[in-house]
């Protein structure tokens, strides 16, 4: 009898897509905090919401469980943790690139407490690169995005809010 080896649980969990931003994985987004597995095949996944009350968290939990179970893991537990709080600084460079490729302006870095407060007067258009843009609505297609319009190419686009 041949024994099949499963990919590590972390690798599998990291591949789960965000339901509101399906161009990025939960690892790209930076919400995947930890994955542990024991010799009994039990997996414990720790994730942090982008903000408390994020409506996508239950779907993400279900997607993690389903993806790991389809890969052969039978006992999967997903824990939500609020500390340390998620920040847009947790986005990976690959995640920022994927957002930009999908036409969503990625957030700039958030500076550490006690440092200077960054002031964004404009958000670079992901379509044409212009800084001649304006915020159209504080809330975009999801609560974590705002809607912007480029005055140069006249295209609307989402901007992932810096948190």
Q: How many percent of the chain have pLDDT more than 90?
A: 62
Is the whole-model pTM more than 0.85?
Answer: no
Query: Residues spanned by CATH 3.30.300.130 within the chain?
Result: 9-80
Q: Determine the straight-line distance between the first and last CA of the chain, rounded to whole angstroms.
A: 52
Place of tokens 């686009």: 157
Asked if the model's pLDDT at residue 70 lies above 90, the reply is: yes
CA distances from 64 to 39, 58, 78, 120, 121 (A): 20, 10, 8, 35, 38
Name the token pair of 79. 């824990």
**Cβ 28 vs Cβ 91: under 8 Å:** yes
Choices 3.30.465.10, 3.40.50.2300, 3.30.300.130, 3.30.420.130: CATH for 9-80:
3.30.300.130
């Amino acid at each position: 009898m041949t024994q099949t080896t499963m990919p590590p649980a972390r690798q599998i969990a990291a591949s789960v897509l965000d339901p509101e931003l399906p161009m990025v994985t939960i690892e790209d987004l930076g919400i995947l905090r930890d994955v542990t597995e024991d010799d009994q095949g039990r997996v414990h996944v720790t994730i942090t919401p982008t903000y408390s009350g994020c409506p996508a968290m239950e779907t993400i939990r279900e997607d993690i469980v389903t993806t790991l179970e389809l890969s052969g893991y039978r006992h999967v537990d997903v824990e939500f943790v609020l500390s340390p709080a998620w920040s847009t600084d947790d986005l990976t460079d690959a995640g920022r690139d994927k957002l930009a490729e999908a036409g969503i302006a990625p957030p700039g870095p958030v500076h550490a407490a006690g440092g200077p407060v960054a002031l964004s007067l404009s958000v670079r258009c992901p379509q044409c690169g212009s800084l001649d843009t304006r915020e159209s609505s504080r809330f975009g297609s999801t609560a974590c995005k705002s809607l912007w319009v480029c005055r140069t190419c006249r295209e609307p686009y989402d901007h992932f809010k810096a948190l």
